[in-house]
Structure 1
Amino acid sequence: MQDSIRLRLRAATAAQHERVDAAFSSYNLEDQAGYRAFLLAHLRVVQPVEVALEKSGIAALITDWPARQRRHALLADLEALGTAGPVTEPLAIQPTPGWCLGACYVLEGSRLGGRLLARRVAAANPGAPLHYLAHSDTTPSWPGFLEQFEQGAKQQPWDQLLAGARDCFDLFVTAAKLG
């Protein structure tokens, strides 16, 4: 799978991925306030992106999309922490199918990182709500996503796939800085 679209996309967005990691590294997930701020920052991205993906027909491209949604898990964790999630602004674009797949690639990649973070949060704060970070923790969802992603991405223009991924990474960086 050396020439996979995923690997091309990962290479093309590596610098942005590093910026996201750096932006979120300042959040102290070991304390409740830091964890809450982290979840709020993620909600600023996940909620509007998921809504835009759904309005644009992501379920036709990623058939198990309903099981992949995480905004409700984010809201549940925030509620458990005594915080109501803010109403987020809708995206100001009309996503193409290629953009949707690129953005979905970033959201699904963040799920992988979330599993590692869930362990860190749980160790520091037993009983902390982890619906978002541990979403689909019992079912390996990445291989199934990649299969659908690669199949759908072959049909899409590269520039649209790349734009969706870059836009989503940029949204995460902006949200992290708003803290």
Structure 2
Amino acid sequence: MPAPSSSSSDVLAALRAATGPRHAVLDSSMPLAKAHPSIDDYRDHLLLLHAWLGPIETWLAQFADGPQDSGVLSPIRRTPIIEADLAHASIAPVDAFAPVTFPPSPHSSRAYRWGVCYVVEGSQLGGAVLYKRLRAQLAPHPLQYLGGNGAPVGPRWQQFVQALQAHVTDHAAIAAACDGATDAFDTLLSLLPDQADQLAGSFTGRD
């Protein structure tokens, strides 16, 4: 792995700045944002994530470099975990959301994919927080997706951040990573009807 440059921390700061407003909107808009979410809210949360993450994972699986290099980060497909949670006996079946189109325009650069993966991997941290808050409330459902399928998310996140900072260091790469991250957020937000105005207004163009 390349050694981090003196400016490597800039990528993390840039990604946080680019995605911060979107992150705040998403955190307050997802089904599990309710004060006392039900198992039906968890189902709806999973359906949204499946429609979003499935196309992203399929697209990322085409590559074997950058964040898809198994020597950098072990590959994980999370859509089967979502599907297993949706199949649990406590979940009432409903129609799925139509999957998103990803990426919204052609992209293949490593830096762009690092930005996409920043959102995907970071979402697991939020899932771990929700798991601790909801595992008793939503029992007997095991909440495998929120719980990382039994694997701690902290060490993987630290490994990801270290690799991100080592590989995305120049200004052009950082800008491309921010594009990937904002596209990842915007495609998930597009599944939430109440956020149409946000996408058309506050988040127009690149941050």
Q: TM-score, with normalisation over the residues of structure 1?
A: 0.84
Q: Distance in 2 between matches of 1:174 and 1:62?
A: 33
Whichever structure has more helix as a proportion of its residues is: 1
Q: Tell me if the contact between 2:38 and 2:138 (Cα under 8 Å) persists in the aligned partners.
A: yes
- Residue 138, structure 1, aligned to residue 144, structure 2: no
1:4-19 superposed matches below 5 A: 4=9, 5-19=11-25
User: Paired residues, what number?
Assistant: 178
Against the structure 1 CA distance between its residues 21 and 2, is the aligned structure 2 distance closer, same or farther, given a 3 Å change threshold? Answer: farther
* Alpha-carbon distance, 1:166 to partner: 0.3
Q: Distance in 2 between matches of 1:74 and 1:147?
A: 27
* Alpha-carbon distance, 1:123 to partner: 2.0
Against the structure 1 CA distance between its residues 60 and 100, is the aligned structure 2 distance closer, same or farther, given a 3 Å change threshold? Answer: same
Q: Tell me if the contact between 2:31 and 2:45 (Cα under 8 Å) persists in the aligned partners.
A: no
- What residue in structure 2 maps to residue 111 of structure 1? 124
How well do the aligned residues superpose, as a CA RMSD in angstroms?
2.8
Q: Residues 126-178 of structure 1, C-alpha deviation per residue, up to 9 Å, x if partnerless?
A: 22131211116435211111111112222662221111000011112122338
Q: Tell me if the contact between 1:27 and 1:34 (Cα under 8 Å) persists in the aligned partners.
A: no
Q: Distance in 1 between matches of 2:161 and 2:101?
A: 27
- What residue in structure 2 maps to residue 70 of structure 1? 78
- What residue in structure 2 maps to residue 125 of structure 1? 138
* Alpha-carbon distance, 1:120 to partner: 2.2
Q: TM-score, with normalisation over the residues of structure 2?
A: 0.73
Higher mean displacement: 47-56 or 132-141: 132-141
* Alpha-carbon distance, 1:39 to partner: 0.7
1:37-48 superposed matches below 5 A: 37-48=44-55
What is the DSSP-based 3-state SS (H/G/I as helix, E as strand, rest coil) of the residue aligned with 1:66? Answer: coil
- What residue in structure 2 maps to residue 167 of structure 1? 183
- Residue 152, structure 1, aligned to residue 152, structure 2: no
Q: Tell me if the contact between 2:40 and 2:92 (Cα under 8 Å) persists in the aligned partners.
A: no
Q: Tell me if the contact between 1:99 and 1:163 (Cα under 8 Å) persists in the aligned partners.
A: yes
1:46-57 superposed matches below 5 A: 46-57=53-64
Q: Mark the runs of 5 or more structure 2 residues left unpaired by the alignment.
A: 1-5, 195-207
Against the structure 1 CA distance between its residues 128 and 26, is the aligned structure 2 distance closer, same or farther, given a 3 Å change threshold? Answer: closer
Q: Tell me if the contact between 2:8 and 2:169 (Cα under 8 Å) persists in the aligned partners.
A: no
Q: Distance in 2 between matches of 1:138 and 1:103?
A: 21
Higher mean displacement: 57-66 or 42-51: 57-66
Against the structure 1 CA distance between its residues 137 and 177, is the aligned structure 2 distance closer, same or farther, given a 3 Å change threshold? Answer: farther
Q: Mark the runs of 5 or more structure 1 residues left unpaired by the alignment.
A: none
- What residue in structure 1 maps to residue 42 of structure 2? 35
What is the DSSP-based 3-state SS (H/G/I as helix, E as strand, rest coil) of the residue aligned with 1:106? Answer: helix
Runs of 4+ in 1 over 4 A off after TM superposition: 25-29, 84-87
Identity of aligned residues (%): 25
